[in-house]
Structure 1
Amino acid sequence: IGDNLPREVGDIGFPIVVHPKDPDTVSVFPMDGTSVWPRTSPGGRPAAFKSSNGGKTWKRLARGFPKEHGYFTTLRQGFVCDQHDPVGLYLGLSSGEVWASADEGDSWRQIAQHLPYILCVEAV
């Protein structure tokens, strides 16, 4: 699925979310290794990437995220979706922040901060 991801998304690994009603629609939150941090947003510019055709093409979705110095780190279980229409996406960070998108990743906003290290997020 990652063969067609843009080079900017990094090479360390990232969580992936499959749309609950359309298995060809997937979202990923890429991370990259640096000389200082083991896994962070590539270039300090966090973004989700979404494919609606099973990974053939990808769209970068960053509206609402910091434009620079956003060195986000999340675990595999820290990126999830809900069952609503449109599907909501949720991203929990090791820094204790939670970010959410109510429009399938088109825009993001911080909904919580100053929490302990986030290991996983669940959407109900």
Structure 2
Amino acid sequence: MPKEVGDIGFPMVVHPRNAEVAWVFPMDGQSVWPRVSPEGKPAAYVTRDGGETWQRLAAGLPAEQAWWTVKRQAMCADASNPVGLYFGTTGGELWMSRDEGAQWRCMARHLPEIYAVEVAGNLAR
């Protein structure tokens, strides 16, 4: 992960069928509020080549002033095709993508701080 994207611990999810594909949600440890979305602009990043290159995935996420964190166990994937991704924030929001991170939408707001997210069952599309 390039240092300018985020430089401290973050959740990582590996594709259930392709070990070369993984998603991360980086955090910034250099700002006044450590461990938040870099510049308050959250995004997931995907690698499709085992970490050689990364692509920013932010469509549907807040464009600014989102000073929250995604904790290490608060991001997960389902086994659907395409893979569904889910994460919860320290600000009490639950987000999902049904297209491997290309587009995000908020499922719930105003929850307590989210420490972990897990998918259960078979999710019909």
Deviation at 1:38, TM superposition (A): 2.3
Write the letter of the residue equivalent to 1:73.
T
| Structure (1/2) with the larger helix percentage | 1
Deviation at 1:13, TM superposition (A): 1.5
**2:98 alignment counterpart:** 102
Distance across 2 between alignment mates of 1:113 and 1:38: 23
Matches for 1:10-29 after TM superposition, within 5 Å? 10-29=6-25
- After superposing on structure 2, the runs of 4+ consecutive aligned residues of structure 1 that deviate more than 4 Å are none
Equivalent pairs: percent with the same residue? 55
**Which secondary structure does the structure 1 equivalent of 2:73 belong to?**
helix
Where does the alignment leave 5 or more consecutive residues of structure 2 unmatched?
121-125
Write the letter of the residue equivalent to 1:30.
P
Distance across 1 between alignment mates of 2:106 and 2:30: 25
**Which secondary structure does the structure 2 equivalent of 1:43 belong to?**
helix
**1:83 alignment counterpart:** 79
Aligned length: 120
Where does the alignment leave 5 or more consecutive residues of structure 1 unmatched?
none
Scaled by the length of structure 2, what TM-score is found?
0.91
Distance across 1 between alignment mates of 2:79 and 2:32: 37
Distance across 2 between alignment mates of 1:56 and 1:76: 22
Scaled by the length of structure 1, what TM-score is found?
0.92
